[in-house]
Structure 1
């Protein structure tokens, strides 16, 4: 803040806890299933402290393992050397499902301190994009970071049980009006 001025927000970033897609022992939001999990963390990342606070707040314990790159973290997850990884939401997942999100924060365009002419031009451009294409931030996020796994519906254990119960002998058909937000997108 001493060296830079900041534009209006251009996006939101949050920490995310992911597990392998086939991991059924860690249940989203059921924090007792998180206890003792081995978690990959990125060396020097501010998300590590946020995750520690999140774990403390939710009342679960974990065993940290530190890595120098997200590639190493992903390899450790896929080879089951860790149960979960903590990263920024600005990462494309691979054979993973998001079990929790924490520590949301905005991000910005930065300019040299005092360069108000450039900052005003950037803010004007942001305002124009917001006015003309209000969902441009989501469009860019989806283009660069969304994966196939994040497009799939996630079900709670109770929902999975109901689906299993009613679809034992034949397919379960569900009707949804595509114009009824938030039930469809």
Structure 2
């Protein structure tokens, strides 16, 4: 009898592992479950979290993108590594225009990058802050919302450090 129970447990663990590794069918959607890695699913989760989401016009030569707003905060969001409608990553980007200031302070950027997970850089007269979340393999709505909340916290902190 013990061998049979052990065998059943081993089979259950094997099947659970296969499902987690992608051996099962498409994941069910829901707030605590794995979500589809599509632009529509990402936009829907962010809308449900209270963000205003505007999908940018589709362009076959570019990654799908959207503009996200929450109060005074606005950021560009794009998905990348997309194949057959499923995407591998989502990236948020914010910028501050300092083109009338002359040379930019790369020390601020270097200090930020040494202490935070978001990526700061300068480009064509502006400061930028990006963050990327992997979608491949699945993600939850809660994880996407937490990522965006953390990113916006970093955007405010980074903006306060700029000259």
Same fold, judged at TM 0.5 (above): no
TM-score (norm 1): 0.22
